[in-house]
Amino acid sequence: MRLSRLILRPLVAIALLALGAAAVLPQQVPDPGFGGGVQVRLTLSDIAGTPITQPMAGQPFQVDVRLDDPAGAGPVRDEHLSGWIRPVAASNSQCADAARSYFVTGRDLPRGSTDLDRSLFGVRHQDGTISVLDWEQSIASANIMAMVPLPDARGPLVGQADAFSFVAQTGDGGRIRVPAAIGSQPEALSPMPGKGPVLTSANGWMARGAVLQPPSERDSISLPAPVLALAPGFADPDEGRHDGVLALLRGGIAVLAQDDGRTLPPVTGPGDAVAAAHAIQADAVLFVNGSDHLTVVFGGAHSVSAPLAVPASRITASPDGDFAIAWSPDSPGFSVVDIATDSVVQAGALNRAPLDQNLREVAFARDMAVLLLDRLDMALVVDLPQVRMGEPVAIRPVRIGPPVGDLPAGAGPFLIETRRGHEGGMVLVLHPDLSTAFPVMRDSAGNATAPMNGFRIAGGRPLSLAELAGGLRETEPGRYRAATVLGHGGTYELVVSGGVGRFTACARFQVEGDEKPGLTLQLLAGATRNAGQAMTLDLRLVDPEGVAQLWPGELPVLLQSLDGGWRDRVLAQPAGANGHRAQVAGMPAGQVSVSFDMALPAGITVMPSTIEVSR
pLDDT at 158 over 90: yes
Claim to verify: residue 486 and residue 577 sit in the same structural domain: no
Do residues 591 and 563 both lie within one domain? yes
pLDDT for 517 equals 61
Residue 572 lies in a domain: yes
- The answer to whether position 151 is within a domain reads no
Determine phi and psi for 282, rounding to 5 degrees: -100, 0
The per-residue pLDDT for range 325-352, each reduced to its tens digit, is 999 999 999 999 999 999 999 898 888 8
Largest CA distance in the chain: 83
Give the chain's radius of gyration (CA, Å): 26
Same domain, yes or no: 489 and 572: no
Query: Residue 138 and residue 143: Cα distance in Å, rounded?
Result: 5
Spatial separation of the C-alpha atoms in residues 119 and 115, rounded to whole Å = 9
- Whether 528 maps to a domain, the answer reads yes
Residue 146 is predicted with a pLDDT of 82
Last residue of a domain, one of 459, 490, 511: 511
| Cβ neighbours of 289 (radius 10 Å) | 20
Distance CA 91, CA 520 (A): 10
Read off the pTM: 0.78
Domain boundary among 480, 511, 542: 511
Domain range enclosing 26: 17-116+472-511
Residues 523 and 504 in one domain: no
pLDDT tens-place string over residues 112-138? 789 998 889 999 999 999 999 887 665
Cβ atoms of residues 577 and 542 within 8 Å: no
What is the pLDDT, as a whole number, of residue 104? Answer: 78
Question: Per the domain annotation, does 224 fall within a domain?
Answer: no
pLDDT at position 453 over 70? no
What mean pLDDT do residues 56-69 have?
93
Q: DSSP secondary-structure letter at 14? A: -
For residue 543, how far is the Cα from the chain centroid?
35
* CATH at residue 489: 2.60.40.10
Q: Is the pLDDT of residue 451 over 80?
A: no
Same domain, 91 and 59: yes
| Average pLDDT, rounded, for the chain | 85
Q: Is residue 601 part of a domain?
A: yes
Q: Are residues 35 and 112 in the same domain?
A: yes
The answer to whether residues 21 and 61 belong to one domain is yes
**Dihedral sign computed on CA atoms, order 16, 21, 22, 23:** negative
Q: How far is Cα 509 from Cα 497, in angstroms, rounded to an integer?
A: 18
Q: Which of 35, 28, 36, 38 is nearest to 69 (CA)?
A: 38
Would 41 be classed as within a structural domain? yes
Q: How many independent structural domains does the chain possess?
A: 2
What pLDDT was estimated at residue 5? 29
What is the mean predicted confidence (pLDDT) over 14-26?
A: 32
Are residue 485 and residue 543 in the same domain, yes or no?
Answer: no
Residue 605 falls inside a structural domain? yes
Residue 361's pLDDT is what?
Answer: 98
pLDDT of residue 367: 87
Average pLDDT of 517-535? 81
Backbone angles phi, psi at 5, to 5 degrees: -70, -40
Residue type, 549: Q
- The domain boundary, picked from 481, 511, 541, lies at 511
Residues 235 and 245: their CA atoms lie apart, in Å, by: 9
Do 527 and 609 have their domain in common? yes
Structure confidence at residue 36 (pLDDT) = 60
Asked whether residue 101 falls in the same domain as residue 68, the answer is yes
CA 234 to the chain's CA centroid: 18
Per-residue model confidence (pLDDT) at position 33: 42
Residue 105 domain-assigned?
Answer: yes
Residue 526 and residue 504 in one domain: no
What is the percent of the chain where pLDDT is above 70?
89
**Does the pLDDT at position 17 exceed 70?**
no
pLDDT tens digits for range 190-235 = 999 888 899 999 999 999 999 999 998 878 999 999 999 999 999 9
Residues 111 and 22 in one domain: yes
